[in-house]
Amino acid sequence: MDDLTDFEFDLTRGSHNLLVSQITHRGSADERSRLKTLGASTAGDDRRVTELFAESARAVVRMGESEAKAALEELRALGFWFPAE
């Protein structure tokens, strides 16, 4: 979730970011083009993620949910229990 909320900050710093990776490797041609255009000259508008990169942002959220549920199952196997919801 951190990579969605600080997407533009990571772009500016050139840091690794799951959303950027998703767009680069699995995003649509439109999203890749928008990412190139956006580049490192971001203005700090949080709506960019949801408006310009909605499909890739959804994919990253789904990935995070899946990994969180898998981690909870691993904890359950170790004797800890947290509701997956």
Q: Give me the residue spans of the domains in the chain.
A: 2-77
Q: What is the pLDDT of residues 39-79, one digit of tens each?
A: 645 555 556 677 889 999 999 999 999 998 898 888 888 88
Beta carbons of 17 and 11 less than 8 angstroms apart: yes
**Structure confidence at residue 81 (pLDDT):** 77
The CA distance from 69 to 85, in Å, is: 8
**How is residue 60 written in tokens?**
């990253």
To which residue do tokens 């229990």 refer? Answer: 81
**Structure confidence at residue 42 (pLDDT):** 54
Q: What is the pLDDT of residues 7-35, one digit of tens each?
A: 888 888 888 889 999 999 999 999 999 98
